[in-house]
Amino acid sequence: MATDAMTRSSGGEGAPTPSAWKALAGAAYRPYWLDDPGRPGPRPALVGEERCDLLVVGGGYSGLWTALIAKERDPAREVVLVEGQEIGWAASGRNGGFCAASLTHGLGNGAARWPAELAELERLGHRNLDAIESAVERYGIDCDFERTGEIDVATEPYQVAELCEAAQLAAELGVGEQEFLDRDAVRAEVDSPTFLAGLWDRRGVAMLHPAKLAWGLARACAELGVRIYEHTPAERLASAGAAMAVRTPFGRVRARQVALATNAFPSLVRRVRPYITPVYDHALMTEPLNQEQLDAIGWRGRQGLSDTANHFHYFRLTADQRVLWGGYDIVYRYGGRVRAEYDHHPATYRTLAQHFFRCFPQLEGVRFSHAWGGAIDTCSRFSAFFGSAHGGRVAYALGYTGLGVGATRFGAEVMLDLLAGERTERTRLEMVRSKPLPFPPEPVRWAGIGITQWSMTRADENGGRRNLWLKAMDKVGLGFDS
């Protein structure tokens, strides 16, 4: 094959406009969030042997929440965390900063998969978001946390009806504060000529600075006594008598229990690997907007926004009045490889820039300061799954599919429940006890993802009508998203 990258086609939209080319000139190819003068210095790598009660593998949100909550539950527990690069350098420092209460990638996905326990999942999800807000305040984490909510916007007529149905479902479940906005109402909140309607989840989503959240959680962990090692990839997991042993390049950790928080990277439990396929998502960040530009688009409520197509965009304002604009293309690499050179995809940056000015033509002349990408741990049911191995001494949570900023804290609690052997309100859930369908091996995976991407594009272009392939995937519960 000519290339190992598969990207959603831009579908006959033509070459990028001069505005898009000009706006990208000079953009730095690195994550805006990590390009911060307050970024902490590196921590030492592990050299030699460590012993502990709990070893956490992975220094993103999933691992940090696990370490933090483990110490909160039992301050005497010895906890070690190892990270292959630096805290928050992967998805936790590259995402859009949307911290959602949903544990199921939205009401629609939850209703399709776990209708009997959807109300309970929503209750637990909102409680989880409340707990994140409390932790940010309790530990003094300066991460620009704003509980402004999110507006899902319709940009095609058929999507208006979908938002009405979602509003009705939310009302039936008594979930949060969700308000349907007609064309005039949504444009009064954020003014784009492409917006036809909106659904505003007022309390179910917070905006934050993702890297600062990771750095703040790491500081809180260290203050509670967690020993953190960076540049320490976990290479091998094996039983060592009654304990577990994890080999690293320059040492080894022996632990009574292990929590795996590796997400898009290959799991140390090999049988879990077919359930995950990494895909690449990308984003742009504008220069700071001046007051005239801000007035032109409104957006006084600072909500996060997302359109409702299969290939969707997400966008929000930062604390320094920039616009983050991401999503749309989903880039898959043959074999599910995760490599640093895959983080950037200039063709996607050009597509995103063109779409930005289509959404906000009143921002003509704005330039982008940063462009970046990163891997997402996608699974076929679009939401996290959980499990244990090695006789209950090892737990894992992964498959957040782009909605892990909030849900990783819930996943951390599930992993700790599983390691404790406790039957809790979380471990009793069918969502927790079940697994998604695994992805097939290559080259079937490559072909299947290609057909699915093409079909999703066709659905977006044809009033949301799903073809036979997508209907079959829906029927067996196998999906592909980011």
Same domain, 426 and 471: no
Is residue 1 domain-resident?
A: no
How large is the average pLDDT for residues 241-262? Answer: 97
Q: Which of 403, 364, 379, 394 is nearest to 478 (CA)?
A: 379
Helix/strand/coil (H/E/C) assignment for every residue in the chain:
CCCCEEECCCCCCCCCCHHHHHHHCCCECCCCCCCCCCCCCCCCCCCEEEEEEEEEECCCHHHHHHHHHHHHHCCCCCEEEECCCCCCCCHHHCCCCEEECCCCCCHHHHHHHCHHHHHHHHHHHHHHHHHHHHHHHHCCCCCCCECCCEEEEECCHHHHHHHHHHHHHHHHHCCCCEEEECHHHHHHHECCCCCCEEEEECCCEEECCHHHHHHHHHHHHHHCCCEEECCCCCCEEEEECCEEEEEECCEEEEEEEEEECCCCCCCCCHHHHHHCEEEEEEEEEECCCCHHHHHHHECCCCCEEEECCCCCEEEEECCCCCEEEEECCCEEECCCCCCHHHCCCHHHHHHHHHHHHHHCHHHCCCCEEEEEEEEEEECCCCCCEEEEECCCCEEEEECCCCCHHHHHHHHHHHHHHHHHCCCCCCCCCHHHHCCCCCCCCCCHHHHHHHHHHHHHHHHHHCCCCCCHHHHHHHHHCCCCCC
pTM: 0.94
Q: From CA 278, how far away is CA 343, in angstroms rounded?
A: 12
- Does the pLDDT value for residue 16 go beyond 50? yes
Confidence at residue 359, expressed as pLDDT on a 0 to 100 scale:
97
Same domain, 402 and 449: no
Residues 6+ apart with CB under 8 A from 467: 455, 458, 459
Is residue 394 domain-resident?
A: yes
- Does the pLDDT value for residue 114 go beyond 70? yes
Q: Which of 69, 33, 173 is nearest to 117 (CA)?
A: 173
Is residue 8 domain-resident?
A: no
Same domain, 25 and 160: yes
Confidence at residue 11, expressed as pLDDT on a 0 to 100 scale:
41
Residues 6+ apart with CB under 8 A from 341: none
- Does the pLDDT value for residue 475 go beyond 90? no
Q: From CA 479, how far away is CA 452, in angstroms rounded?
A: 8
Same domain, 252 and 298: yes
Higher pLDDT, 453 or 345: 345
Q: Give CA separation, 152 vs 167, 178, 241, 315, in Å.
A: 11, 10, 52, 11
Q: Are 452 and 469 in contact (CB under 8 A)?
A: yes
Residue range 227-240, pLDDT digits in tens: 999 999 999 999 99
User: Could you tell me what percent of the chain has a pLDDT over 90?
Assistant: 82
Confidence at residue 10, expressed as pLDDT on a 0 to 100 scale:
44
Confidence at residue 136, expressed as pLDDT on a 0 to 100 scale:
98
Confidence at residue 7, expressed as pLDDT on a 0 to 100 scale:
60
Confidence at residue 482, expressed as pLDDT on a 0 to 100 scale:
57
Confidence at residue 2, expressed as pLDDT on a 0 to 100 scale:
35
Is residue 172 domain-resident?
A: yes
- pLDDT band of 324, cuts 50, 70, 90: very high
How many domains does one find in the chain? 2
Q: From CA 368, how far away is CA 345, in angstroms rounded?
A: 15
Q: Which of 108-112, 127-131, 176-180, 379-383 has the lowest mean pLDDT?
A: 176-180
The enclosing domain of 323 has a CATH number of 3.50.50.60
Residues 6+ apart with CB under 8 A from 226: 67, 68, 71, 79, 80, 81
Residues 6+ apart with CB under 8 A from 153: 186, 190, 192, 194, 195, 196, 197, 198, 305, 306, 307, 308
Confidence at residue 95, expressed as pLDDT on a 0 to 100 scale:
97
Mean pLDDT, the chain, whole residue set: 93
User: Could you tell me what percent of the chain has a pLDDT over 70?
Assistant: 95
How large is the average pLDDT for residues 154-178? Answer: 88
Same domain, 71 and 109: yes
- Does the pLDDT value for residue 341 go beyond 70? yes
Residue range(s) defining the domain that contains residue 460: 443-481
Same domain, 113 and 39: yes
Q: Give CA separation, 195 vs 190, 358, 453, in Å.
A: 9, 11, 24
How large is the average pLDDT for residues 322-340? Answer: 92
Q: From CA 348, how far away is CA 439, in angstroms rounded?
A: 25
Residue range 147-158, pLDDT digits in tens: 999 999 999 999
- The residue type of 78 is E
Q: Which of 10-19, 376-385, 410-419, 424-433 has the lowest mean pLDDT?
A: 10-19
Confidence at residue 9, expressed as pLDDT on a 0 to 100 scale:
43
Is residue 5 domain-resident?
A: no
Same domain, 31 and 163: yes
Same domain, 225 and 296: yes
Whats the size of the chain, residue-wise? 482
Same domain, 66 and 126: yes
Encoded tokens for 307: 């359109």
- Does the pLDDT value for residue 4 go beyond 70? no
Higher pLDDT, 334 or 182: 182
Confidence at residue 461, expressed as pLDDT on a 0 to 100 scale:
84
Is residue 274 domain-resident?
A: yes
Same domain, 455 and 387: no
Residue range 259-271, pLDDT digits in tens: 999 999 999 999 9
- Does the pLDDT value for residue 3 go beyond 60? no
Lookup result for tokens 């191995």: 389
Is residue 187 domain-resident?
A: yes
Same domain, 36 and 89: yes
- Does the pLDDT value for residue 455 go beyond 90? no
Higher pLDDT, 349 or 455: 349
Confidence at residue 14, expressed as pLDDT on a 0 to 100 scale:
56
- Does the pLDDT value for residue 8 go beyond 60? no
How large is the average pLDDT for residues 315-325? Answer: 98
Q: Are 113 and 381 in contact (CB under 8 A)?
A: yes
Same domain, 285 and 251: yes
Q: From CA 175, how far away is CA 203, in angstroms rounded?
A: 10
Is residue 4 domain-resident?
A: no
- Does the pLDDT value for residue 1 go beyond 60? no
Q: Which of 43-52, 87-96, 441-450 has the lowest mean pLDDT?
A: 441-450
Confidence at residue 20, expressed as pLDDT on a 0 to 100 scale:
85
